[in-house]
């Protein structure tokens, strides 16, 4: 089984998966007590599903970019879990890729080529990343990041499209300030997802796809075997 955790924004979300099946999912708002509630919340989540850490094979974590405090807290917790439960393998996921994964079926139905994921940077701009959808049926990554993580103001979204030579009708925008993006770029395809921020569902689905299809993590550009924080800006403190 896989447990996926995401805390890059204002919620703590947990998802339990068995292969590609979603068994359980919760999302709770975070106030200022994240470090105090993470471990009890995970333990209660497992207990509610009648399992323990002994039943978990993989721990998948959304590693940012996003909330500096949230990323550090969840990675510290995840490292502690994998140290104390050495049978659990770790898989870190770029939260922007997890967000793109949450919208991939929607984009495929619309026959689009690209997804732009957006996360609130809390500094009056956005973390953005561009992903290309893989439509082939072989065991390859479902998405490929074709840009680095950028930070831009939403008002400059037209420039982002121009820099990446994007055709408007081929792109789905998902994430923070989606409504404003649609106002800035008329006829922009915006995701209808009720959740427009990173969630453990996307992280879990992406991790499950990698694991079940035996995709080499080294051949993805959004996943890694060790938990490490993804900072789009230089971090002020190094994670010990």
Q: 6 Cβ partners below 8 Å, 6+ apart?
A: 12, 13, 61, 62, 74, 95, 98, 198, 199, 200, 202, 203
pLDDT at 239: 38
At 119-155, the pLDDT tens digits run 998 888 999 999 999 998 776 889 999 999 999 999 9
Q: How confident is the model at residue 25 (pLDDT cuts 50, 70, 90)?
A: very high
Distance between alpha carbon 161 and the CA centroid of its chain, in Å?
22
Could you give phi then psi for residue 65, rounded to 5 degrees?
Answer: -75, 165
In this structure, are residues 100 and 143 in contact, taking their beta carbons and an 8 Å threshold? yes
- The string of DSSP letters for 68-98 reads HHHHHHHHHHHHHHHHHSTT-EEEEE-HHHH
Q: How confident is the model at residue 233 (pLDDT cuts 50, 70, 90)?
A: low
| Packing angle of the helix pair 68-84, 34-48 (nearest 10 deg) | 50
- Percent share of the chain, pLDDT over 70: 95
Mean pLDDT of 41-69: 94
**Whole-model pTM?**
0.93
Query: For residues 53 and 77, what is the distance between their CA atoms, to the nearest angstrom?
Result: 14
Mean pLDDT of 105-129: 94
pLDDT at 124: 84
In this structure, are residues 66 and 8 in contact, taking their beta carbons and an 8 Å threshold? yes
pLDDT at 1: 95
Structural domains of the chain, with CATH: 2-95+198-224 (3.30.420.40), 96-190 (3.30.420)
Mean pLDDT of 195-207: 92
Q: How confident is the model at residue 234 (pLDDT cuts 50, 70, 90)?
A: low
Please, what is the average pLDDT of the chain?
A: 91
Mean pLDDT of 90-113: 96
- Residue 228 reports pLDDT greater than 70: yes
Closest CA to 153 of 181, 132, 172: 181
122 CB-contact burial (10 Å; exposed 0-12 / middle 13-18 / buried 19+) = exposed
- Residue 226 reports pLDDT greater than 70: yes
Q: Tell me, what DSSP letter sits at residue 65?
A: S
Closest CA to 51 of 77, 24, 30: 24
pLDDT at 149: 95
pLDDT at 232: 64
Could you give phi then psi for residue 115, rounded to 5 degrees?
Answer: -130, 130
- Residue 113 reports pLDDT greater than 80: yes
Q: Tell me, what DSSP letter sits at residue 86?
A: T
Query: For residues 66 and 8, what is the distance between their CA atoms, to the nearest angstrom?
Result: 5
pLDDT at 236: 44
Q: Tell me, what DSSP letter sits at residue 122?
A: S
Query: For residues 89 and 211, what is the distance between their CA atoms, to the nearest angstrom?
Result: 11
- Residue 157 reports pLDDT greater than 60: yes
Mean pLDDT of 70-85: 93
- Residue 106 reports pLDDT greater than 80: yes
């Amino acid at each position: 089984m896989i447990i996926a955790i995401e805390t890059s924004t204002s919620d703590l979300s947990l998802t339990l998966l068995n292969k590609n099946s979603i068994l359980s999912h919760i999302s709770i708002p975070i106030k200022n007590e994240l470090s105090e509630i993470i471990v009890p919340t995970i333990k209660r989540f497992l207990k509610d599903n009648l399992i323990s850490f002994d039943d978990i094979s993989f721990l998948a974590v959304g590693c940012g970019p996003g909330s500096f405090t949230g990323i550090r807290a969840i990675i510290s917790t995840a490292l502690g879990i994998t140290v104390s439960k050495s049978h659990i393998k770790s898989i870190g996921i770029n939260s922007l890729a997890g967000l793109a994964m949450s919208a991939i079926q929607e984009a495929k139905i619309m026959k689009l080529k690209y997804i732009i994921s957006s996360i609130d940077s809390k500094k009056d701009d956005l973390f953005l990343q561009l992903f290309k959808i893989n439509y082939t049926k072989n065991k390859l990554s479902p998405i490929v990041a074709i840009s680095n993580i950028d930070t831009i103001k939403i008002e400059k979204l037209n420039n982002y499209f121009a820099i990446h030579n994007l055709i408007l009708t081929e792109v789905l925008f998902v994430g923070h300030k989606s409504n404003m993006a649609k106002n800035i770029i008329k006829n922009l395809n915006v995701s209808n997802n009720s959740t427009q921020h990173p969630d453990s569902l996307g992280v879990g689905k992406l991790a499950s796809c990698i694991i079940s299809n035996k995709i080499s993590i080294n051949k993805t550009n959004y996943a890694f075997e060790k938990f490490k924080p993804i900072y789009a800006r230089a971090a002020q403190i190094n994670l010990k």
